[in-house]
A and B are shown apart, each in its own frame.
Chain A
Amino acid sequence: MSADKHEFVDGDLLRSIEQSGVGFRVATTVLGLTVLTAWVLFSRQILEGLGVTGLNQPVAWGFYIVNFVFFIGISHAGTLISAILRLSQAEWRRPITRMAEVITVVVLAIGAFHPVLDLGRPERALNIFTAGRLQSPLLWDVSSISAYFMASTVYLYIPMIPDIAILRDRGVRPRWLYSFLAWGWQGTPRQQAVLGRAVNIMMVLVIPIAVSVHTVISYIFAMTLQPGWHSTIFGPYFVVGAIFSGIAALLMVMIVLRRIFRLERYLKQIHFDYLSRLLLIMALLWFYFTFSEYLTAFFGHEPAEMRVFYYKVSGPYAPFFWGMVVCNFLVPVLILAFRRTRTIPGIFVASLTVVVGMWLERLNIVVPSLANPRSGLPTGYYLPSVVEWGMFAGGIATFILGFVLFARFFPLISLWEIQEGRELSVAETAARLETYLPDPPAAAPAEEASP
């Protein structure tokens, strides 16, 4: 197979891979240093103990768990959305699935590491493997997240094989890496059939896992008896929140990358339009769940629940609570409901507030319940320390670094899917035309129009 077969119009997508510039080096250095700082802080935490955080007696969980839930939530961006879009054969999905999947894999790895940060004795984390107990929701998480990680990695990788082969064939360095990863792809029909089948299996598989992951994470809280946590709708509530934050994160990533890599040709208004409508729907859905959750607590008027309720609504956490409502509901709905504001900057603002708002939601779930213990202890207080902020920054830096590195080595937009889209659309159009245009002379009706 000759390389010129791939000399196609989308060569500009490979520019960042074939000629990485100063920007890449600066970005990796800055991000790398941030990540390194986070690791230094983490080693200090290991050496001195969890006392370097702002955690304390009633508030035994803080930023690490908040960020764990938050990052894992973001990770739903990807795989779930891309799988649903693929499954529903939404043609416009083609330029965005890859980015969504990358978000998933990178963020999932970051999120999954957060419980380890939270351990008092991280060197004993292996106890989970030697002596784990399946009745603990934490173990459900371990198995569920690792399954999701595995599935989403595979789901990212398999559709990437043809693109890797393109890179391999174009002689991009490191060549051994691309040869290794291309798995001998030549684009033969048989290979394409195999790949298509595999992608289909994975996309069906990934959806229930993704749903299960955030359900199970919500169970960490819901399975306890604590006020504000012990709720049956936590599972769907978390899943909705996760998809919500995932779409917002995806939109942000798309807008940013579009700007950096000049992807205006690929990411068009319609992509943002469709996704932002989805975001709007999720915002309404999120509000519905939030409303149900808090109304139930309020109407039941159980003293312990009410203590948490008032702590959020009118107490010390009121800024965060109402900030969450504003960020997750008011701002996105107001921006996205009107065509005039549903511009790309508008969508960016809405997505940003949703990501912030969803982080606030996680904070609102984790801290207030712990800060208001049933036992008659004074109301708790939690102020994250520099270490925790540093680790948060490190997490975000890792996420961006992951993206930068990915973009350095792999195309951010699926080349072959776009190609396939083009070919399919030509075929489809031809087929459609054939249905009403006069048949060409002396030819059998075309049958290969089906996708």
Chain B
Amino acid sequence: MSSQPPSRPPGSRRIYLLQVVSVVAIWAFVLGISGWILHLLRLSHQLHDVPSASIGISIVAIPVFLTGASVLTYVFVGLRRGRDAGGEEQR
């Protein structure tokens, strides 16, 4: 952290970390939900109670979540990359 140029406001790196953590958390959440839906699919297979519609409806949900998370990540990464090359920091 000490590698930051002195002009940078203190704590910006911490905020960056928090941002990374939140993106990771979103992924965890999305993957968790997807995993959960898959778990339910497995469960319903075990219990022999799957009218195929329910599979369909839930299968749709997973890509939605993944897309949502991907879009967020894309924005996050895109905004980082798209900053002014000079690196004049937000103030």
Contacts and interface: CB of A to CB of B under 8 A. Distances in A.
Given A133-B40, A134-B58, A143-B57, A198 B78 contact: yes
Nearest to B30: A150
Interface in A156-201: 158, 161, 165, 168-169, 176, 179-180, 182-186, 188-191, 193-195, 197-198, 201
Nearest to A136: B54
B73 to A, nearest CB: 10
B44 A133 contact: yes
B71 to A, nearest CB: 5
A188 B82 contact: yes
Interface residues of A, number: 45
Given A134-B55, A147-B64, A184-B90, A191 B40 contact: no
Interface in A13-30: none
Contacts of B79: 161, 183-185, 191, 194-195
Nearest to A194: B78
A183 B81 CA distance: 11
Contact of B78 (A176, A190, A209): A190
Nearest to A176: B15
Contacts of B61: 143-144, 146-147
Contacts of B11: 176
A9 interface: no
Contacts of A154: 68, 71-72
B4 to A, nearest CB: 14
B37 interface: yes
Contacts, number: 127
Interface in B68-85: 68, 71-72, 74-76, 78-84
A202 interface: yes
A195 B67 CA distance: 15
Nearest to B77: A194
Name the residue in B43, B47, B71, B83 with the highest tally of chain A Cβ atoms < 10 Å from its Cβ: B71
Interface string B18-60: 1100000000001001001100110110010111001101101
Contacts of B50: 134-135
B33 A146 contact: yes
A205 B64 contact: yes
Most buried by B among A147, A186, A188, A216: A147
Nearest to B88: A1
Given A134-B40, A143-B58, A176-B11, 10 more contacts: A129-B36, A134-B58, A135-B50, A144-B57, A147-B61, A158-B72, A184-B83, A186-B84, A197-B74, A198-B74
- State the 10 A-B residue pairs at the shortest beta-carbon distance, nearest first: A194-B78, A190-B82, A191-B82, A134-B54, A143-B61, A147-B64, A198-B75, A134-B44, A135-B54, A183-B79
Interface of A: 1, 3, 129, 131-135, 139-140, 143-144, 146-147, 150-151, 154, 158, 161, 165, 168-169, 176, 179-180, 182-186, 188-191, 193-195, 197-198, 201-202, 205, 209, 212, 216
